[in-house]
Structure 1
Amino acid sequence: MSLPVIVTRAEPGASETMARLAAMDVTPIASPMLSLARLNVDLPDLSGVQHLVFTSANGVRFFTEASTLRAAKAWCVGPSTAAAAREGGFAAVYEGAGDAAALAADILVALPEGTEGVLHVANEAAAGDLVARLKEGGIPADFLALYETLPADELTPEAEAALAAGPACVLIHSAKAAAAFAWAAGGLDQAVIVAISEAAARPLQSREVAAIHIAEAPNEDALLATLAAVASGL
């Protein structure tokens, strides 16, 4: 793959993605569009928590740093999040297909109505939707924000240079990263966007780009497969 590939996700995920790209004989360009910061919050009483819901690997990382609770079942949105939960010491791990709405639906099917002790751990911007779906389905879930995501003001010089020289592929893992990228980037007429989902790509639809390609499933395996297919056709 001769095209440069710009990685926009936050660390430590950015380095993980770059390692996977290197294994594909790709030389990636790091330009994280988000940074993660721990919130100054006290943990609530977790003694009654039996089900932890994670919609990102970062949620798992921040939780395992803050708490020793591992007996609860970890409900994970996708493969990367499930891998982080297993690495973090959880024995009971459910691995979803990569979509938060689908994860909520899976939980509602698996757990009886009225099940208590369900806690969604994520960044502060994720409050509401998944928990609201669970509550509508009869599960009185709670939400805990342990970290926030902060947008970058600019791309790295290497990423700007690659976009100017073009064409260049841009990997998009989330809508928040896409929004930051759309705001911070200069000309994108030679940018080939490869996004993990339609929702993740949406903030870039207002920008003039060379093309937008969507992964067949909302996980990184599918994202990188789409990248390989796109690059082979350019």
Structure 2
Amino acid sequence: MLDRISFRAGPEPMPVSLRILVTRPQLSAAATAARLAAMGHEVVLLPVMEAVHQPLAALEALTHPHSAIAITSAEAFRALAPYREQLAPHFQTTAYCVGPATAQAARYMGFQSVITGSGTGVSLAKIAADASADLADGLVYLAGWPRSPAFEAGLQAAGIACRTAETYRMSAIPHSPEAVEQLLHPPIPDLVLLYSHETARHFFALLSPQTAHRMSDMRLLCLSQHVANAIPPGFGPVAIAAEPSEEALLALL
């Protein structure tokens, strides 16, 4: 059941400046909501996708020879959290992480050597290509689905072998039209945060024609251009983060 939830920081209610719709999966949404609350905003939670974990695929892939591990989402580490003991023999292996949040999750898991990209698969593939002499046995990529092909394509172009293990799959949550309508009835949010192409696509598919009309002028803050590409015509204004990080996204508020 969906709930309209207001988050406040501190013992006393804080003035609310914006009403913000957060569409991230539940665990990530809670962290984002806490950040927004500390900034004095009201948060409406509508998790659009949920992760289905497949950790055994990762553990099997790691039994094959490899020089390093690549991760483009901290969700892979959430999938592997119950298997930390089995993962421990790999903690000395270099972990190539797409950005700071994923790198932080890698260190928290126990990885000792972490290389951090700037937030995109393209940039991470370039870092790996520059270190290709150290990657003779290739990479094990702990990936999700769906995903951008950019990282794997970059590795292929650089001649780096990659064994991809789909460690989790993102699945759309089948919210009923009535539940979505109840959550988003007026006052509608001032803006919505969109973190992934698939989330954006499924979010707009959830809206009834009436709700879509009411929300057509709502501000849409997107983590990247790829996310913005999933927004149907007739919605906006749209703003795109300067870089694919939550800090850059929230800077658009």
8 A contact 1:77–1:99 mirrored in 2: yes
2:207 matches 1:174 = no
Instruction: Name 2:79's counterpart in structure 1.
Output: 62
Q: Which residue among 11, 25, 34 is the counterpart of 2:40?
A: 25
Residue deviations 1:32-77 (CA, integer Å, cap 9, x gap): 1101112384532524333111111102222343433322111111
Alignment of 1:1-234 (within 5 A): 2-39=17-54, 41-42=56-57, 43-44=59-60, 46-47=62-63, 48-66=65-83, 67-68=87-88, 69-112=90-133, 115-126=136-147, 128-154=149-175, 156=180, 159-161=183-185, 164-166=186-188, 168-185=190-207, 186-187=211-212, 188-204=215-231, 206-227=232-253
In 2: Cα distance, 1:113 partner to 1:57 partner: 24
8 A contact 1:100–1:130 mirrored in 2: yes
Paired residues, number? 224
Query: Per the alignment, do residues 210 and 138 of structure 1 end up closer, same or farther by CA in structure 2, a change over 3 Å counting?
Result: closer
Percentage of matched positions with identical amino acids: 28
Partner letter of residue 216 of structure 2?
D
In 1: Cα distance, 2:134 partner to 2:112 partner: 24
8 A contact 2:67–2:136 mirrored in 1: no
Query: Per the alignment, do residues 127 and 146 of structure 1 end up closer, same or farther by CA in structure 2, a change over 3 Å counting?
Result: farther
- Please state whether the residue corresponding to 1:80 is helix, strand or coil: helix
- Root-mean-square deviation (Å): 2.2
Query: Per the alignment, do residues 92 and 149 of structure 1 end up closer, same or farther by CA in structure 2, a change over 3 Å counting?
Result: same
In 2: Cα distance, 1:90 partner to 1:198 partner: 31
User: Structure 2-normalised TM-score?
Assistant: 0.80
8 A contact 2:144–2:168 mirrored in 1: yes
- Please state whether the residue corresponding to 2:167 is helix, strand or coil: strand
Q: CA deviation at 1:106?
A: 1.5
Query: Per the alignment, do residues 192 and 202 of structure 1 end up closer, same or farther by CA in structure 2, a change over 3 Å counting?
Result: same
* 5+ long unaligned stretches in structure 2: 1-15
Partner letter of residue 100 of structure 1?
G
8 A contact 2:72–2:98 mirrored in 1: yes
Q: CA deviation at 1:172?
A: 0.6
- Please state whether the residue corresponding to 1:84 is helix, strand or coil: helix
Partner letter of residue 19 of structure 1?
A
Q: CA deviation at 1:194?
A: 0.4
